[in-house]
Amino acid sequence: MTDAIAQTPDEPRRVDVGSLMAHDERTRRRNRAERRFQLYGLTAIGVGLLALVVLLVSILSQGLPAFQQTFITLDVHLDATKLDKNGTRDIEEIKKVSTFGYAPLIKAAAEAKMEELGINPEEFGVTGKDAQAMISKEAAAQLRRFVIANPDRIGDTVEFEFLANGRIDGYYKGRVTMESAERDSNVSPGQLQLADALKQGGALSKHFNWSFITAADASENRPEAAGIGVAIIGSLYMMIVVLCLALPIGVAASIYLEEFAPTNWFTDLIEVNISNLAAVPSIVFGILGLAIFINYAGLPQSAPIVGGLVLTLMTLPTIIISTRASLKSVPPSIRDAALGVGASKMQSVFHHVLPLAMPGILTGTIIGLAQALGETAPLMLIGMVAFVREFPSAPPEGFFDPASALPVQVYNWTQRADPAFVERASGAIIVLLLFLLCMNMIAIILRRRFERRW
């Protein structure tokens, strides 16, 4: 360094760069440091992208099959002697026939189908009972629902697509193989061969399964029938509750704190508390919700209203912090300008500051909502893990009916033994991610649309 600086006291102390074409040691060192830093950055981004790709690939490869399902097509004769013994077509009489009453119809239809295709289950070492087991237990319920909805069809022969049993379905998705079937007490290689024969005969096919998205959860032994319909509705209801409560409360609180409140120890205290609340683990809000909303206020367990209230508490700090930040970022000169022409404080806030802060507020709100949508722990504490088969009714009563939520449904399914549920859990994750993606897109679009320069 000493040689780079002229030392004579009356001469200016000046960097001696020599020729501009040659780099001196300092410059080279600086350039090296800069390149090194860029490399670190690129590596970090690379690692992040790689993790993202691995995550997406694993979720997609595991979850995408959940949207397809194997179906067995049968022509069922809706035998009047079995379904409506008196021939009155009285709906109450028909309802008395339980799903057990429908099983023989399916059995007959399956036997007829195999005969028609010239398949003899005995050839594959499959007994009649085992051949029946290839059709989901859900089939009888499906048939019963159809008959109750269309009692006039009794006596006809109707074509039905029944879900195949989860193991058979797994065979066509690579989850079950001949080798694994040997060791599996629930499925035999013979059944798989029979399934292949049915497929050749055109009675078995795999295609998109809407009921994964629209159906309710199903019990342990029929994964093929399980869907995320109730969970989607539950999550939607909770998001409505959160949006309707957290946005107005959060924005009003922020406006007051940012624009009107005097700065004193009390508002400082509130500010510190809000920042701390944002960092409180979500499960704590769950305990709070259990104690206040369920035990004290007596609201029903597993209800979206309680979930929504808990998630509102959780989201409020996020919304308040982001709203205050965006209010703060509006230049004070705009407030002065409004006050200067004789606007009141409130007019200056509502006519000028708030519209300018809107993109930030909406972005913060949507990010808060997205967080709430993915939250599991507090919901488990307020009983949203319960197995819910019934769809909640339309709002506002529906807010008080038991429901599930998407992330809780994912958690539930991963806890079950049958690997078919893991596939469905991944499928539910894909749906959840799609929702989150949509919300973030909306946030970006809103930001773009409302963004103004000043």
Partner 1 sequence: MNDMRPVERAVDTNEIKFDCKDCQVYYGEKHAIIDVDVKIEDKTVTAFIGPSGCGKSTFLRCLNRMNDTIDICRVEGQFLLDGEEIYDKRVDPVQLRAKVGMVFQRPNPFPKSIYDNIAYGPRIHGLAKNKAELDEIVEKSLRRGAIWDEVKDRLDAPGTGLSGGQQQRLCIARAVATEPEVLLMDEPCSALDPIATSQVEELIDELRENYSVVIVTHSMQQAARVSQKTAFFHLGNLVEFGETGQIFTNPKDPRTESYITGRIG
Structure tokens at 322: 């982001």
Q: Do 434 and 314 contact (CB within 8 A), yes or no?
A: no
Choice from 104, 128, 248, 331 touching partner 1 (CB under 8 A)? 331
Site string for partner 1, 341-360 (x = CB under 8 A): xxxx--x---xx---x----
**Sole window of 22-30, 157-165, 332-340, 423-431 interacting with partner 1 (rule: CB under 8 A):** 332-340
- What residues between 186 and 225 interact with partner 1 by CB under 8 A? none
Tally of CB atoms within 10 A around 382: 24
Interface stretch with partner 1, choices 26-34, 81-89, 329-337, 388-396 (CB under 8 A) = 329-337
Q: If phi over 0 gives left and psi between -120 and 50 gives alpha, with beta otherwise, what is residue 9?
A: alpha
- Report the distance separating Cα 143 and Cα 100, nearest Å: 11
State the nearest-atom distance from the C-beta of 327 to partner 1, in Å.
Answer: 15
- Min dist CB 341 to partner 1, Å, is 4
Q: How far is CA 291 from CA 164, 184, 308, 389, in A?
A: 44, 46, 15, 26
For tokens 């009675």, the residue is 203
CB of 336 to partner 1, least distance (A): 6
Name the burial class of residue 46, with classes exposed (0-12), middle (13-18) and buried (19+) by CB atoms within 10 angstroms of its CB.
Answer: exposed
DSSP character at residue 15: B
Cα 37 to the chain's mean position, in Å?
38
Binding residues among 148-177 for partner 1 as defined by CB under 8 A: none
Q: Which helix (H) or strand (E) holds 161?
A: strand 157-163
Residue that has been written with the tokens 């709100």 in this structure: 365
Q: How far is the CB of 251 from partner 1 (least distance, A)?
A: 20
Q: Is 328 in the site for partner 1 (CB under 8 A)?
A: no
- Residue 454 touches partner 1, criterion: CB under 8 A: yes
Q: How many residues bind partner 1 (CB under 8 A)?
A: 22
Residue 336 is a binding residue for partner 1 (CB under 8 A): yes
* 346 Cβ contact partners less than 8 Å away, ≥ 6 residues apart: none
Nearer to partner 1 by Cβ, of 7 and 263: the residue is 263
**129 versus 452: smaller Cβ distance to partner 1:** 452
Q: Is 393 in the site for partner 1 (CB under 8 A)?
A: no
Site for partner 1 in 243-282 (CB under 8 A): 262-263
Phi-psi region of 87 (alpha: psi -120 to 50; beta: other; left: phi over 0): left
x-or-dash pattern for partner 1, window 355-384, by CB under 8 A?
A: -x----------------------------
Residue among 48, 281, 340, 419 that touches partner 1 (CB under 8 A): 340
Nearer to partner 1, 213 or 339 (CB): 339
Residue of 246, 409, 381, 231 lying closest to 306 (CA atoms): 381
Interacting residues with partner 1 (CB under 8 A) = 262-263, 331, 333-344, 347, 351-352, 356, 452-454
